[in-house]
Amino acid sequence: MKTTLESVVIKFAGDSGDGMQLAGTLFTDTTAVMGNSIATFPDFPSEIRAPQGTVAGVSGFQIHFGTSGVHSPGDTPDILVAMNPAALKANLHNLKPACTILLDSDAFSKKTIEKAGFGNNPLEDDTLSDFKVIEAPITSLTKSALTDLGLDNKTADRCKNVFTLGIVFWLFSEPLEQTINFFKQKFKNNPTIAEANIKAIKAGYNYALTIEAIKSSFTVLPAKKVPGTYRNITGNQATAWGLMAAAQKAGKPLFLGSYPITPATDIMQELTKHKWTKTRVFQAEDEIAGICSTIGAAFAGNVAVTTTSGPGMALKTEAIGLAVMTELPIVIVNVQRGGPSTGLPTKTEQSDLMQAVWGRNGESPVVVISASTPADCFDWAFEATRIALEHMTPVILLTESYLGNGAEPWRIKSLKELPEIKPLMLETKDANWQPYKRDNEKLTRKWVVPGTPEMQHRIGGLEKDECTGCVSHNPQNHELMVKIRKEKIQRVANFIPEQRYKGKDAKKLLVVGWGGQFGILFGAVNELQKEGKDIAFTHFNYINPLPKNTAEIFSKFDKIIVCELNDGQFANYLRALLPQFKYEQYNKIQGLPFTVKELKNKFNQLLEEK
Amino acid sequence: MEATTLQCLYKPRDYASDQEVKWCPGCGDYAIISAVQKTFSELNLKKEDVTIVSGIGCSSRFPYYMNTYGFHTIHGRAAAVATGVKLANPDLSVWMMSGDGDSLAIGGNHFIHAVRRNININLILFNNEIYGLTKGQYSPTSERGKITKSSPYGTVESPFNVGELTLGSKGHFYARVPDTDVKLMTEVMKQAYLHEGFSVVEVLQNCVIFNDKTHADITSKETKLNNQILLEHGKPMLFGENNSKGLLLNGLDLEVVTIGENGISEEDILVHDASAKSNVLHNLLIQMKLPEFPIAMGVIRNADANVYDKAFFEQMENQEQLSKYKSLDDLFMSGNIFTINS
Ligand code: SF4
């Protein structure tokens, strides 16, 4: 029997060593190529070497795919793949009734069941009675499928994720070709391993085809998307590519000074692959050297970027102040994670907003913007670079773990369709030039880089004379400079698009979001709008400065609710800037994204109240 | 000598900016800046091709006084900023001005890594063994027991020896000079410039206000003949009046001997090899202390090694040749792509 579905959520869960991230990624790639809309959410354990078989060591990869309504990785899975008792235990509280569970029955021994924290064997009592359970002896089937290759036990065991993937492919009538090609390519120097993986996936597929246990398979309809050429992309990769595209559009080499930190490291690793673009990647000795080298590179004329996450951001604080004082163009990407301190390195959060806007000594304004989906990290990295270069200022780009590691299809942009970026560089001597002489419209100074004849000058962290840039301790000059630096950032608002909102006829409730929770917020509001509710949605990417029409939009609604993954930072920011409005809050601080369900509950409650 | 000066693009004073120099009268920094200006003049450096990066401290005001490109950064971070400058534009001649506190305390991490990477930057390290700008606290090079404002009963910690730390960080160029000898400073700075890789020039600098005469035993007119030994590549290690004393290797230790005594002749004296691959003897020379030994001056180590920025750009050029992509569009369209038609 074949059922046709609009969209499905699958979660692959297993030990960190079970290869769940790979299985999830391979499945995503195939569904994307088949034309489905997708959104993914990898959920890593914090400890790379958490004890095997424990709930703390469970690694998950959730994918939501289908024809419509795919704005987020989905609240709860329709299908859970559990490679061991711990993976089952970790997800049991978050399953829909009647959902399908595919599990490896070989992995359920007395010892592993106890380790996972089950009292009794969940396969034998009524723990799973509400669900459709497919018990497959995956470990032993994988081994026997590979016997004639003469592999050692461990290597054969490693293929069980691929065998499982074969079962899932059959369930969704997805073709195997692409994955088989992937193995051929990846293991081209090790044909035995390539063959083992190919055998395993075919064996899993054929097993599902033949056994009685699986009675139905599904077809998921492809999405109605904007025509064009697509590829699957993660937020971190999109960020890296957006930066490279921006540097090319600005006609300057890209420089990245960075230090490894979860979950931002992938951006550095992606950029360093592309030395052929003349991108310079400097892996610094620490976070401070990461940003300081970036400032040096900006001084010397590169499109200069540093990437990090919360704790690294804290270390970079003093240097960001130096970039503010010297008015150099740099981009600082913060892929946010749970804090404070080391916090939750692998979990998502939006709690570095206040730090980005205000977290420096002195009056130290910078532009702060944020991305909203994995694919649009490309556009926001590009925009961050544009603003930095065209307004001679540091720009902080806030993304988050949920975006950085999440993936979705990206309609590929060609360099031709991207706008030019015009750095404010002065390359020949201008008799009227002074290092801090400003443009009247934007209040920007000119970018004159070392090597330019007859324009030698000195900059630094000491307060500057308003025009010459020489060190000045004059009291009036300092106050003036503080105001100029602030005004320069405010004027960026004249060069960005107006804020938009969805729900032109609504009056009662405005949902306000920012950053990476866009898809889930959009999905929740969308569903309520379809139900005919009086609700609208506006999502902020420009944080500082805010778009100029923000107050105008807010004034149209009876109630405003600000939803964010922190304890109310954007809400408080809005209270400080636009105190004439009252803001309700919906906050979640669990290291997890919102769910559509909880948002709808909250919005309904506000809509029903007077 | 006269002839070379005439050929120079600029006179030393052409490298001075229009800013009033604000170091205390009598500060050793004045001699250092005139040596740097002489060096640039003798090397024929174009003003626009020089970038001077400093951290924070008295010495770090240096860039403001030079008519080159300059960047007065934040405390301890000059090496990191200078690294970014060099990688953004490897054609620039990048100089770093820093003090003992700036480079060895708050900036210690950046110092050791810049030395280890061997990036082509010249560091002039002003060692006055004190924090001057904050008015007199002990620094990581202050001698043990030193009484300062932050150590009224004397310090209870042992200092770094700049040369030892440089060699310990895998450094390939280290020189030590007194701020009293502009000619020697100029000579050594020229060699630092010519050395490919990270060059450390330690200047024993006098802070007249907070640590006056701290180097006087080494640098004063009366003592310098016997208390300094100038090491010159390829020359015997002689010092003292009429070069009457010299250095020998006795087992694993150095020994001071007098020529003509106990059958010692000039042939027995060690000959300085700054380019030796092994740094063992360089370390012994760097560690020499008064009163048993003279203090070693001049270019003590100047050895070849892999240069970071050179390798960095070589790799980049190779990748330009080897890459299967010719444009970003190629990259974006590579791998698994799929087309949706209307
Ligand atoms: S305090 Fe010392 S080091 Fe600083 S300028 Fe004065 S004399 Fe020179």
**Protein residue with its CA nearest to atom 5 in ligand 1:** B23
Both A489 and A533 in one domain: the answer is no
B331 with A241: Cβ contact below 8 A: yes
In this predicted structure, what is the pLDDT of residue B2? 45
Closest-CA distance, A416 to chain B, in angstroms, reads: 9
Type of residue numbered A82: A
In this predicted structure, what is the pLDDT of residue A32? 84
- Residue A66 region by backbone torsions, left for phi larger than 0, else alpha for psi between -120 and 50, else beta: left
Interface test with B, best of A299, A315, A379 (most B CBs within 10 A): A299
**Looking at the partner chain, which of B66, B89, B110 has a beta carbon nearest the beta carbon of A300?**
B89
Both A153 and A270 in one domain: the answer is no
In this predicted structure, what is the pLDDT of residue A213? 55
Residues 71-130 of B with CB under 8 A from A: 71-74, 77, 79-89, 91-92, 109-110, 113
Q: What are phi and psi of A149, to 5 degrees?
A: -90, -10
Both A214 and A232 in one domain: the answer is no
Both A191 and A259 in one domain: the answer is no
Both A481 and A588 in one domain: the answer is no
Both A425 and A558 in one domain: the answer is no
CA–CA gap between residue A557 and residue A564 (Å, rounded): 19
Type of residue numbered A115: K
A418, closest residue in chain B (CA to CA)? B329
In this predicted structure, what is the pLDDT of residue A215? 62
Tokens (6 digits) for A422: 């015009």
B323, closest residue in chain A (CA to CA)? A276
- Provide, rounded to the nearest whole percent, the portion of chain B with pLDDT above 90: 95
Closest-CA distance, B324 to chain A, in angstroms, reads: 9
Whether residue A351 contacts residue A516, with contact meaning beta carbons closer than 8 Å, is answered with no
Q: Tokens 């293991």 map to which residue?
A: A187
CA–CA gap between residue A145 and residue A83 (Å, rounded): 18
CA–CA gap between residue A462 and residue B22 (Å, rounded): 15
In this predicted structure, what is the pLDDT of residue B109? 98
CA–CA gap between residue B102 and residue B79 (Å, rounded): 10
* Interchain contact B9–A (C-beta under 8 A): no
B84 with A452: Cβ contact below 8 A: no
User: Bridge partners of A511?
Assistant: A537, A561
**Protein residue with its CA nearest to atom 2 in ligand 1:** B207
Residues listed for chain B: 342
Which stretches of chain B are DSSP H helices?
Answer: 2-7, 29-43, 78-88, 100-101, 108-117, 162-168, 182-194, 216-219, 224-227, 280-287, 308-322, 328-332
Chain-centroid distance of CA A318 in Å reads: 26
3-state class (DSSP) for residue A351: coil
Q: Which residue range(s) make up the domain with A484?
A: 227-495
Whether residue A248 contacts residue B328, with contact meaning beta carbons closer than 8 Å, is answered with yes
What lines the ligand 1 site, CB under 6 Å?
Answer: B 23-24, 27, 29, 58, 128, 132, 207-210
Each residue's pLDDT tens digit, A237-287 = 999 999 999 999 999 999 999 999 999 999 999 999 999 999 999 999 999
How many structural domains is chain A composed of? Answer: 3
Each residue's pLDDT tens digit, B209-258 = 999 999 999 999 999 999 999 999 999 999 999 999 999 999 999 999 99
CATH hierarchy code of domain B12-214: 3.40.50.970
**List of chain A residues with pLDDT < 70:** 1, 47-49, 68, 212-216
CATH number at residue A99: 3.40.920.10
Q: Which of B244, B254, B246, B258 is nearest to B287 (CA)?
A: B254
CATH number at residue A583: 3.40.50.920
CA–CA gap between residue B208 and residue B215 (Å, rounded): 11
CA–CA gap between residue A427 and residue A429 (Å, rounded): 7
Whether residue B117 contacts residue A475, with contact meaning beta carbons closer than 8 Å, is answered with no
Share in percent of chain A as helix, strand, coil (round to 5): 40, 20, 40
In a domain, A503, yes or no: no
Q: How many other CB atoms sit within 10 Å of the CB of residue A422?
A: 12
Both A383 and A455 in one domain: the answer is yes
A458 with B51: Cβ contact below 8 A: no
**Rounded to 5 degrees, what angle do the CA atoms A120, A121, A126 make?**
85
In this predicted structure, what is the pLDDT of residue B1? 42
| DSSP, res B234 | T
B83, closest residue in chain A (CA to CA)? A293
Mean pLDDT, rounded, for B138-165:
97
Type of residue numbered B83: T
Please name the residues in contact with A309: beta carbons below 8 A apart, sequence gap of 6 or more: A261, A262, A263, A264, A334, A335, A336, A337, A345, A401
Both A343 and A371 in one domain: the answer is yes
User: Distances in Å between the alpha carbon of B304 and those of A110, B278, B279?
Assistant: 64, 11, 12
In a domain, A500, yes or no: no
Both A231 and A306 in one domain: the answer is yes
Interval between CA B152 and ligand 1 midpoint (Å): 20
Dihedral of CA atoms A526, A529, A533, A539 in degrees, nearest 10, equals 50
Each residue's pLDDT tens digit, A387-432 = 999 999 999 999 999 999 999 989 999 999 999 999 999 999 999 9
Interface test with A, best of B60, B87, B106 (most A CBs within 10 A): B87
A470 with B19: Cβ contact below 8 A: yes
CB crowding A249-267: b at 16 or more within 10 Å, else e: bbebbbbbbbbbbbbbbbb
CB crowding A308-345: b at 16 or more within 10 Å, else e: bbbbbbebbbbbbbbbbbbbbbbbbbbbbbbbeeebbb
Each residue's pLDDT tens digit, A538-575 = 999 999 999 999 999 999 999 999 999 999 999 999 99
Both A88 and A163 in one domain: the answer is yes
Beta strands in A506-607 (DSSP E): 509-514, 535-540, 542-544, 559-564, 583-587
How many Cβ pairs within 8 Å bridge chains A and B? 204
> How far from each other are the two terminal CA atoms of chain B, in whole angstroms?
79
Which stretches of A251-376 are DSSP H helices?
Answer: 265-272, 287-299, 310-326, 353-358
B310 contact residues in A (CB cutoff 8 A): none
Q: Write the ipTM.
A: 0.97
SS (HEC) of B171-232 = CCEEEEEECCCHHHHHHHHHHHHHCCCCEEEEEECCECCCECCCCHHHHCCCCHHHHEEEEC
Please name the residues in contact with A470: beta carbons below 8 A apart, sequence gap of 6 or more: A464, B19, B64
In this predicted structure, what is the pLDDT of residue A71? 86
Tokens (6 digits) for A503: 């729900």
Closest-CA distance, B77 to chain A, in angstroms, reads: 7
**Rounded to 5 degrees, what angle do the CA atoms A419, A423, A426 make?**
145
**Looking at the partner chain, which of A231, A276, A319 has a beta carbon nearest the beta carbon of B325?**
A276
CATH number at residue A290: 3.40.50.970
CA–CA gap between residue A461 and residue A453 (Å, rounded): 24
In a domain, A504, yes or no: no
B324, closest residue in chain A (CA to CA)? A276
Closest-CA distance, A492 to chain B, in angstroms, reads: 26
Q: How many other CB atoms sit within 10 Å of the CB of residue B197?
A: 24
